[in-house]
Amino acid sequence: DGGITQSPKYLFRKEGQNVTLSCEQNLNHDAMYWYRQDPGQGLRLIYYSQIVNDFQKGDIAEGYSVSREKKESFPLTVTSAQKNPTAFYLCASSIAVPLLGTSLIEQFFGPGTRLTVL
């Protein structure tokens, strides 16, 4: 079955530690995204990548880093510089948006990783 996988489902981290969240997709999508969701807030974009070996900062990139060495994989590292890392992290992917044409393109989400900093 095609889809997006994220691991682990739950992650506990001590303050001051870096941690890497995995995101893999077999949908052959070019674009991938990382969001975080906090209670009472909408999803916020951390980083996105439209193509392999390229990625851009989203709205709340401080304290995070990513890589996109393979089309299928877009891991997110939460560094010790992130002040409030406890959140629900969601990875998504989509086909690339054509410059001309519809932008009504679905983003497919992985099941998420719940990160708790102790």
Partner 1 sequence: RKEVEQDPGPFNVPEGATVAFNCTYSNSASQSFFWYRQDCRKEPKLLMSVYSSGNEDGRFTAQLNRASQYISLLIRDSKLSDSATYLCVVNILRGFQKLVFGTGTRLLVSP
Q: Which is nearer to partner 1, 11 or 109 (CB)?
A: 109
Q: Does 45 bind partner 1 (CB under 8 A)?
A: yes
Reading the block at residue 38, the tokens are 């906090």
> Residue 90 Cβ, how far from partner 1 at the closest point, in Å?
6
Out of 22, 50, 73, 79, the only residue in the binding site for partner 1 (CB under 8 A) is 50
Reading the block at residue 93, the tokens are 């992917």
Q: Does 1 bind partner 1 (CB under 8 A)?
A: no
- DSSP conformation class of 41: S
* Alpha-carbon dihedral sign for residues 7, 10, 14, 16: positive
Q: Does 61 bind partner 1 (CB under 8 A)?
A: no
Burial class (CB in 10 A: 0-12, 13-18, 19+), 22: middle
> Residue 64 Cβ, how far from partner 1 at the closest point, in Å?
17
